[in-house]
Amino acid sequence: MSSSFQPLNPDFDAVVRDSFARQPFMSEVGARIALLEPGICEIHVDMRKGLTQQHGFFHGGLVTAITDSAAGYASYSLYPENSTVLTVDLNVKFLKPAQGSLLRARAEVVKTGKTLYISRADAFAEEGEASNHCLTGLFSMMCLPGKPDHINFGRNDSAA
């Protein structure tokens, strides 16, 4: 499936992947970008015990975070050069337990504005050919023009 949106930055693929690579959380959970097109992003995470809740399913916080990142990067793929992305709002509904060996979060931008981008996103827990639709949601992302993605928003890098 191809997006009808055109990226404002011709280097969007490299810019998004660089930003993703600088997120320690994504590395910590083993997340990877599986698909990236203008206005579309899909992120995968393989199951492991440290990512589960008490019943052995993917933890709901992880499912939400990965889906939020997919929505953020779907939006970020359309942003102009020298900008960054922040989540403004999200509304998610858990549909089923996230039981499977692979978590797949897919987001697609449905509306762009001057600084606000809206994405629809879904998460699926997969086992072989079986796909369990476990989360759906809407995500609002803010484009911060003139703020490079590598800017430190007051974080103390010396803190561990």
Is residue 150 very low, low, confident or very high in pLDDT (cuts 50, 70, 90)? confident
Residue spans per domain, the chain: 12-145
Look at residue 6 and tell me whether its pLDDT is greater than 60: yes
Dihedral angle sign, alpha carbons of residues 38, 40, 46, 49: positive
Look at residue 133 and tell me whether its pLDDT is greater than 60: yes
Model confidence pLDDT, tens digit, residues 74-106: 999 999 999 999 999 999 999 999 999 999 999
Is residue 160 very low, low, confident or very high in pLDDT (cuts 50, 70, 90)? very low
| Architecture of the CATH domain 12-145 | Roll (3.10)
CB atoms closer than 10 angstroms to residue 96: 12
Strand 102-112 and strand 116-127: the pairing is antiparallel
- Give the pLDDT of residue 116: 97
Structure tokens at 35: 């698909």
Look at residue 156 and tell me whether its pLDDT is greater than 80: no
Q: Check: CB of residue 116 under 8 Å from CB of residue 141.
A: yes
pTM over the 0.85 mark: yes
Average pLDDT rounded to a whole number, residues 99-117:
97
Phi, psi of 61 (to 5 degrees): -65, -40
In whole angstroms, how far apart are CA 51 and each of 22, 23, 31, 62? 20, 17, 11, 7
Q: Where are the beta strands (DSSP E) in the chain?
A: 32-37, 40-46, 83-94, 102-112, 116-127, 130-145
Look at residue 1 and tell me whether its pLDDT is greater than 60: no
Model confidence pLDDT, tens digit, residues 41-85: 999 999 999 999 999 999 999 999 999 999 999 999 999 999 999
